[in-house]
Amino acid sequence: MNDGIKPQPGDMVVLTAVPHGLLDGLPEEDQHAITAIVGKPVLLVGYDDDGRAEISFDDPFDVRTDVYSNTHSVWVPPAFLTLFPENQT
């Protein structure tokens, strides 16, 4: 995190850039969904044992309905996240 405040699970965060190698080997639609959320608020789910942050978001190109959701989870180094301004006090 490059703003000095460590976001907590449940906070909204902003993915500031796509980490090198994150998209390697992913289907094109997943790559497109991940790059589309750069700069937008996403949910911080938690941190894994290696310190990577798990973020979760609905696919911006596959609309959620009452019975269907295409939710993505990706793990990124915390340096690529900032706390969404609404969470800051």
Q: How do residues 31-75 score in pLDDT, each as one tens digit?
A: 999 999 999 999 999 999 999 999 999 887 776 666 556 788 999
Q: How far apart are CA 22 and CA 33, in angstroms?
A: 12
The token duo for 14 is: 């902003």
Q: What is the DSSP string of 24-40?
A: TT--HHHHHHHHHTTTS
Q: How do residues 2-14 score in pLDDT, each as one tens digit?
A: 556 789 999 999 9
- pLDDT for res 67: 57
Q: How far apart are CA 85 and CA 77, in angstroms?
A: 20
**Contact between residue 12 and residue 84 where contact means Cβ atoms under 8 Å apart:** yes
pTM above 0.85, yes or no: no
Q: How far apart are CA 85 and CA 67, in angstroms?
A: 31
